[in-house]
Amino acid sequence: MKRKIERKRFGIKKINFRFIYYFILTFIFVLKIMLTLQTSTAGATLSYLENEERNIIKENFSLNDQLATTESLVRYESMASQLGFTKNINVEYLTVDDIFAKAQ
């Protein structure tokens, strides 16, 4: 019967490579699962932010339209005529020759 001879390198017994192999495989597997979860979480967050951006852009267009209608000069003109403001046809201009205040 042959005996297994343990080889010593630098004073250390031979390491069980099967244990190291399984440990590395398990570590890589766990790391892969963690990265997959982080990627899916980042994807969901990105999707949520893209939807929020789309909603904000729609709201911005809506507010721009409302601003354009409320700041329209035609609207102000109709409001002014409803309040009694009219265009003055009889305009009198002052000339430089007119004396409107005398110095004493």
Give how far Cα 33 sits from Cα of 12, 23, 38, 41, Å.
35, 15, 9, 12
Q: How confident is the model at residue 48 (pLDDT cuts 50, 70, 90)?
A: very high
Give pLDDT, residue 11: 52
Task: Please check whether residue 54 lies inside any domain of the structure.
Answer: yes
Asked whether residue 102 is domain-assigned, the answer is no
For the segment 76-95, the average pLDDT, to the nearest whole number, is 81
Does 73 reside within a domain?
Answer: yes
From residue 23, how far is each of 19, 29, 39 by CA, in Å? 6, 10, 24
Residue 24 lies in a domain: yes
Total domains, the chain:
1
Task: Write b or e for each residue in 22-42: b if 16 or more Cβ atoms lie within 10 A of its Cβ, otherwise e.
Answer: eeeeeeeeeeeeeeeeeeeee
- Residue 48's domain comprises 15-82
End-to-end, the C-alpha distance of the chain in Å comes to 142
The yes-or-no verdict on residue 15 having pLDDT over 80 is: no
Could you tell me if residue 30 is inside a domain?
A: yes
pLDDT tens digits, residue range 60-77?
Answer: 999 998 888 878 888 888
In a domain, 77, yes or no: yes
Query: What's phi and psi for 9, nearest 5 deg?
Result: -115, 125
